[in-house]
Amino acid sequence: DIQMTQSPSSLSASVGDRVTITCRASQSISNYLNWYQQKPGKAPKLLIYTASSLQTGVPSRFSGRGSGTDFTLTISSLQPEDSATYYCQQTYSPQTYSTPPWTFGQGTRVEIK
């Protein structure tokens, strides 16, 4: 199975700061990488799909980059409502259709100072 490793596990930053979360895959996954945001007691919400495509309705301060094994999620100007845990997920497809298991990173908790 493909392992996903996020760093850091947690971070604390001030409103307006630029924040970057890294996700590394144990093997190349092309651009089959998604990012989700989860607030306490709530379901995860899709932010970014296929590494860099912004989901409709998600603020433009969120962006994703990467390909192969290394990916980043960046919040360009941190807002109070961005306090949450962020997860990456791989849905790699060596064939026409992606095959499970579709593994998640362990999560990165973002707190506001």
Partner 1 sequence: EVQLLESGGDLVQPGGSLRLSCAASGFTFTSYAMSWVRQAPGKGLEWVSAISGSGGSTYYADSVKGRFAISRDNSKNMLYLQMKSLRAEDTAVYYCAKDVIVGGGRWFDPWGQGTLVTVSS
Sign of the Cα torsion 21, 25, 31, 33 reads negative
Q: Hey, which residues does 20 pair with through a beta bridge? A: 74
Closer residue to partner 1 in complex, CB, 61/107: 107
Say if CB 102 and CB 88 are below 8 A apart. Answer: no
Question: Does the protein bind partner 1 through residue 3 (CB under 8 A)?
Answer: no
Question: Does the protein bind partner 1 through residue 100 (CB under 8 A)?
Answer: yes
Shortest Å distance, C-beta 55 to partner 1: 7
Stretch that binds partner 1, among 10-18, 67-75, 76-84, 90-98 (CB under 8 A): 90-98
Q: Where do contacts with partner 1 occur on this chain (CB under 8 A)?
A: 30-32, 34, 36, 38, 42-46, 49-50, 55, 87, 89, 91, 93, 96-107
